[in-house]
C-alpha cells in the first residue's frame, strides 16, 4: 500500500513536470511549492482528495467576540485533549496556559493544564517569563500535542503558568495566549505554534488571516493556511514588513481632514490582534486630541461622533481610513475615543499599535512566506 501511494505521488509529480528524488528529503508539497505548482495542484484536486497527501490544507478557528474588547478561540493540549480558550495574539510569540501548579488567584476560575493527565506530555527544566503591556506570567516549559482548528501539532513547546500576578488575567474571559508573531521575540527561545505548522507541512500556504467582527457580533475567525476570497472583494493591499519581530510595518504619516496630525516624518506600527485600542506615542495622542478638541480624558459627547473626521493611516503609498464610528467606543451611555498613549521607541522610530479598533475595518492577512501584511477593506 505504501509503495502504491509513493508511485502515485511520483506519477503525479511527473505529470506536473516536477522531478522528485526517491529518497528522504523535501516533501512533495515543498517541491511543488518551489516549482510554483502547488496552487495549481490544490485547485485541480478538491480538498478532500488533497488531504490524502496533505493532512491539512487550511483550517478555520471561530473566535468569540467579547464586548469588542477581546477575541478568543478554543485549542486543546495533551492526550486525551484538555481544552483551553486563548487569544490568538499577533503581538507575541509564545503559547501558554494556566497549569495545576499555578498559585495565583487568576488561575482559580480558569482551565488549568494537568500534565499528569496527558500521556504525551514531556517535561523540561526550562522556565518561562513574559511581560505584556498589561499583565505578566511566569512558569515552566513542556512539550505536548496541541490541536488548533483541527490542525494537530505534535511536540509543541508551551508554557505552563505558575504565576499570573495582578487582576488582568483574573478578570479575563480566556485562559491563555497563543502568540502568532515571529520566533525572534519568543521568550526562552520557544518555537511558536505557527512555525511548527509550517515546518510540519500542516498548512497549504505559509500564512494565516484574521477577521474580527464589530458590535459584539459573531463571525470572527482566524484562518490558517488560506485567504477567504469572500472577504477580499475590495482587493488586497500588500505591505512589506520592516522587521521580522512583531508584524511591524512602516507608516508615512497619520492625517485627519487631510491634515497631518502625527507621524509626520514616518514611524513604525505593528498590527496586533492582542491589543484592543489604537495605541500611539503620548506626543502623538496629544496632537490628535488637540485636533479633535477633546480633553485628555478622551471622553466626548455621543452626539458629536458623526461630526468627527476619519483618522487615516498612510502606509506603503495608500490610505487606510478608520471612521469615528469605529474609533469611538460607547459604553453605558458614555463615549470615549479608542486611543491610548504608549511610548515605545524602535530602531526605526516611534511605534504605533494598530489594534482591534483598526483591524475590525480590514480583513488582515499575515504572510510568512513573503514577510508581508495584506489589508482588504471590509466595507
Query: For residue range 94-152, what is the model confidence (pLDDT) as tens digits?
Result: 999 999 999 999 999 999 999 999 999 999 999 999 998 888 999 999 999 999 999 99
Instruction: Provide the grid cell at 140.
Output: 515552566
Give burial (CB, 10 Å; 0-12/13-18/19+) of 336.
Answer: middle
CATH superfamily of 231-377: Acid Proteases (2.40.70.10)
Asked if the model's pLDDT at residue 3 lies above 60, the reply is no
The model's confidence at residue 274, banded by pLDDT at 50, 70 and 90, is very high
> Which of 53-67, 69-83, 140-154 has the weakest average pLDDT?
53-67
What pTM was estimated for this model as a whole? 0.85
The rounded mean pLDDT for the chain is: 87
What confidence tens digit (pLDDT) does each residue in 342-373 have? 998 666 668 999 999 999 999 999 999 999 99
Nearest C-alpha neighbor of 279 from the set 331, 349, 356, 347: 356
pLDDT score for 345: 66
CA atoms within 13 A on the CB side of 356: 25
Residue 5: pLDDT band (50, 70, 90) is: very low
Half-sphere exposure of 169 (CA within 13 A, CB side): 30
Residue 23 vs residue 62, higher pLDDT: 62
Query: Contact 350/264 with Cβ under 8 angstroms?
Result: no
pLDDT of residue 348: 64
Statement: residue 34 has pLDDT above 80: no
Q: Which pLDDT value is given to residue 6?
A: 32
pLDDT of 18 strictly over 50: no
Look at residue 35 and tell me whether its pLDDT is greater than 90. no
pLDDT at 13: 35
Give 320-343 pLDDT, tens digit per residue: 999 999 999 987 888 999 999 999
Residue 203 above 50 pLDDT?
A: yes
Closest alpha carbon to 201 in 366, 47, 60, 30: 30
Four-way CATH pick for 60-224: 2.70.70.10, 2.40.70.10, 3.30.465.10, 3.40.50.720:
2.40.70.10
Bridge-based pairing of strands 247-256 and 311-315 is: antiparallel
Is there a contact between 337 and 300 (Cβ–Cβ < 8 Å)?
yes
- Whole-number percent of the chain with pLDDT over 70: 84
Per-residue pLDDT at 96: 98
Compute the Cα dihedral for 181, 184, 186, 190 and give only its sign.
positive
pLDDT of residue 298: 82
Residues with a catalytic annotation lie at: 89, 272
Cross-strand partners of 171 = none
Lowest mean pLDDT among 78-82, 197-201, 277-281, 293-297: 293-297
Per-residue confidence (pLDDT) for residue 346, from 0 to 100: 66
What's the confidence (pLDDT) of residue 27?
A: 47
Residue 16 has pLDDT above 50, yes or no: no
For the chain, report the end-to-end CA distance as a whole number of angstroms.
51
pLDDT, position 29: 52
**Are 165 and 103 contacting, i.e. CB atoms less than 8 angstroms apart?**
no
Are 284 and 365 spatial neighbours (Cβ–Cβ below 8 Å)?
no
Residues of the chain with CATH 2.40.70.10: 60-224, 231-377
How many Cα atoms sit within 13 Å of 209 on the Cβ side? Answer: 22
Q: Are the CB atoms for 108 and 179 separated by under 8 Å?
A: no
Among 86-95, 175-184, 236-245, 300-309, the minimum mean pLDDT is found in 300-309
Q: What is the pLDDT of residue 56?
A: 43
305 CB neighbour count, 10 Å cutoff: 16
Average pLDDT of 164-187?
96
Classified as helix, coil or strand, 2 is helix
pLDDT at residue 142, as a whole number: 98
Distance CA(369)–CA(200), nearest Å, equals 15
Q: Which whole number is the average pLDDT over 190-200? A: 98
Which pLDDT value is given to residue 7?
Answer: 32
Which value, to the nearest 10 degrees, does the dihedral of the CA atoms of residues 84, 85, 88, 91 take? -90
Amino acid at each position: 500500500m505504501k509503495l502504491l501511494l509513493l508511485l502515485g505521488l511520483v506519477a503525479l509529480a511527473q505529470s506536473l513536470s516536477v522531478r522528485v528524488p526517491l529518497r528522504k528529503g523535501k516533501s512533495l508539497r515543498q517541491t511543488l511549492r518551489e516549482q510554483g505548482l502547488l496552487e495549481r495542484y490544490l485547485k485541480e484536486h478538491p480538498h478532500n482528495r488533497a488531504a490524502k497527501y496533505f493532512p491539512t490544507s487550511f483550517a478555520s478557528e471561530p473566535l468569540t467576540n467579547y464586548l469588542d474588547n477581546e477575541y478568543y478561540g478554543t485549542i486543546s493540549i495533551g492526550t486525551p485533549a484538555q481544552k483551553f480558550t486563548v487569544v490568538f495574539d499577533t503581538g507575541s510569540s509564545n503559547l501558554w496556559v494556566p497549569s495545576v501548579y499555578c498559585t495565583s488567584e487568576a488561575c482559580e476560575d480558569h482551565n488549568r493544564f494537568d500534565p499528569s493527565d496527558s500521556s504525551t506530555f514531556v517535561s523540561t527544566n526550562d522556565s518561562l517569563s513574559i511581560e505584556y503591556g498589561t499583565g505578566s506570567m511566569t512558569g515552566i516549559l513542556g512539550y505536548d500535542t496541541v490541536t488548533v482548528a483541527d490542525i494537530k501539532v505534535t511536540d509543541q513547546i508551551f508554557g505552563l503558568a505558575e504565576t499570573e500576578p495582578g487582576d488582568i488575567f483574573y478578570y479575563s474571559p480566556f485562559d491563555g495566549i497563543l502568540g502568532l508573531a515571529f520566533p525572534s521575540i519568543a521568550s526562552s527561545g520557544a518555537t511558536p505554534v505557527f512555525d511548527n505548522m509550517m515546518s510540519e507541512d500542516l498548512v497549504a500556504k505559509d500564512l494565516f488571516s484574521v477577521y474580527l467582527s464589530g458590535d459584539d457580533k459573531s463571525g470572527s475567525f482566524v484562518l490558517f493556511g488560506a485567504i477567504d476570497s469572500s472577504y477580499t472583494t475590495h482587493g488586497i493591499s500588500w505591505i512589506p514588513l520592516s522587521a521580522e519581530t512583531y508584524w511591524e510595518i512602516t507608516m508615512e504619516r497619520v492625517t485627519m481632514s487631510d491634515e497631518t496630525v502625527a507621524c509626520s516624518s514616518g514611524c513604525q506600527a505593528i498590527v496586533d490582534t492582542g491589543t484592543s485600542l489604537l495605541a500611539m506615542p503620548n506626543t502623538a495622542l496629544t496632537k490628535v486630541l488637540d485636533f479633535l478638541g477633546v480633553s485628555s480624558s478622551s471622553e466626548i459627547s455621543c452626539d458629536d461622533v458623526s461630526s468627527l473626521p476619519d483618522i487615516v493611516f498612510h502606509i506603503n503609498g495608500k490610505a487606510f481610513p478608520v471612521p469615528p464610528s469605529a474609533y469611538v467606543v460607547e459604553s453605558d451611555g458614555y463615549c470615549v475615543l479608542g486611543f491610548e498613549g504608549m511610548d515605545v521607541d524602535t530602531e526605526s522610530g516611534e511605534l504605533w499599535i494598530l489594534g482591534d479598533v483598526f483591524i475590525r475595518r480590514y480583513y488582515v492577512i499575515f504572510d510568512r512566506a513573503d514577510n508581508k501584511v495584506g489589508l482588504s477593506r471590509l466595507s
